[in-house]
Chain A
Amino acid sequence: MSGNPAAGKALIQSYGCGSCHVIPGIRTARGMVGPPLFYYSRRTIIAGELPNTPDNLVRWIENPPAIEPGTAMPNLGVTDSQAHDIAAYLYTLR
């Protein structure tokens, strides 16, 4: 997985992923809108739709409505390299 988990952590904070998800290791990430992202590297399916591969996770983070049009998770305008960083952080959750 290319991507910098430390940068990912800061991006998660600034985009506000934590307003919807409980995310281990992120201060104030206690949102109860979407699923908690515990043990994310061990997950097999992303959002009940996609196999949990790095590529798919990056795709999901960049534009969730493109994969699941009715989802409440917004397209937050995350760029490709930012999405790699964020995914790298989520894969540290073992």
Chain B
Amino acid sequence: MGRAAKFVASLLPLFLAGCATVQSTSNAHGPAAHSIARLSSALTITFVITILIMWALLAIALKKNRGSLKEHMPIDVGGGQAWVAIGGIAIPFLVLSVFFFLGLDLLTTFPIHGDHGAMNMGAAAAKSKPDILIIGHQWWWEVHYLGAANQQVITANEIHIPAHRPVNIELRSADVIHSFWVPSLHGKVDLIPGDVNFIRIEASQPGDYVGQCAEYCGSQHANMHILLVAQEPAAFNQWLANQARPGVEPTNPETMQGQQAFLDGPCTKCHTVRGTAAAGRFGPDLTHIGSRKEIGADSFPNNDGYLEGWITNAQSLKPGCKMPKITQYNGTQLRSLVAYLRQLQ
């Protein structure tokens, strides 16, 4: 293969990846996302047609080639005003007006409330009690299920929702501005310190949808991923009931030693495992960490290797994140600690 061919070939996966990825507005899986996808394809098509017309006009102008550099037409030669009036003002005015109203209409598909949302939608979202509260932190997501009053369900980073029905979400921030965005389901909505926003999302079919914080929020913004798992309602209820239980008690010597290491260590200052003395609120709730697919705000797979690497040296995996390096454990303690966390299903 020639150099150029190799270069082009090396770029190919980039484009293919762009099509295959789940994290894309054009890969719509819910009513709000469908409206957004429709508007963006309409915009893209209009844009392409406009560009084609403009290039064609340019080509015609060049072809006509009136005069030369030495001997050009006088600058004040008449004609052309109609082109400017129609092509430069009237048509853009028409096209942009249509998109303006289509854009306004789009706001009704994802009700936002708060000082920053569409006014007419505030009432709708505020009236319906939110099902889920999401609090943005540098650089992870705290997730509360607000269902029954006697149910205390707090988790992090992996957000489950029932499919086929709208879910109302309340968004807050613990520090700086973040933005919640799962492109296959809805548009971006900011999480604003000292303020509340609401969003209503609906997944038209079960599946794992990935998303991303969409407002720069500090050094690890790019690793503030979202994993949103839409489930059949029955499976969702089962999941929720399990998340409401306290952490699984260890049963074998290794996991028991691991729990001891966990409770004796600094972990409890920042993390909660319901049912134990660990009640820290600074970091993600770990009551069911073993059930999560990923760690570090969905940056790494949740397996023995990544988990142990994360616990001792999160700083090498996610530099600058708010979980410090932890150096007090020996190898045996670390392995048992991982075994304990993994059984917190």
A-B contact count (CB 8 A): 61
Q: In the complex the two chains form, is B317's CB within 8 Å of A19's CB?
A: yes
| B residues less than 8 Å from A74 (CB atoms) | 304-305, 308, 335, 338
| A residues less than 8 Å from B338 (CB atoms) | 74
The main secondary structure of chain A at its interface with chain B is loop
Residue total for B at the interface (Cβ-Cβ under 8 A): 20
The 6 lowest CB-CB distance pairs between A and B, nearest first, are: A19-B309, A16-B305, A72-B331, A16-B306, A32-B316, A20-B309
Which residues does A use to contact B, with CB under 8 Å?
Answer: 14-20, 30-33, 65, 69-74, 76-77
Across the interface, name the chain A residue whose C-beta is closest to B319.
A30
Q: Mark B41-67, 1 if CB is under 8 A from A, else 0.
A: 000000000000000000000000000
Least distance between B270 CB and chain A CB atoms (Å):
20
Which residues does B use to contact A, with CB under 8 Å?
Answer: 300-301, 303-306, 308-310, 312-313, 315-317, 330-332, 334-335, 338
Least distance between B306 CB and chain A CB atoms (Å):
4
Cβ contacts A to B, 18 pairs, < 8 Å: A16-B306, A19-B306, A19-B308, A19-B310, A20-B305, A20-B308, A20-B309, A20-B312, A31-B309, A31-B313, A31-B317, A32-B316, A33-B316, A72-B308, A72-B330, A74-B308, A74-B335, A76-B304
Q: Which residue, A14, A18, A31, A73, has most C-beta atoms of chain B within 10 A? A: A31
Across the interface, name the chain B residue whose C-beta is closest to A65.
B335
Q: In the complex the two chains form, is B305's CB within 8 Å of A19's CB?
A: yes
Q: In the complex the two chains form, is A15's CB within 8 Å of B305's CB?
A: yes
- New A-B contacts (6) at CB < 8 Å, excluding given A19-B308, A33-B316, A70-B332: A16-B309, A19-B305, A31-B313, A33-B312, A72-B312, A74-B305
Least distance between A15 CB and chain B CB atoms (Å):
5
Q: Which residue, B301, B305, B338, has most C-beta atoms of chain A within 10 A? A: B305
CA distance A70 to B304 in the complex (A): 16
CA distance A77 to B304 in the complex (A): 9
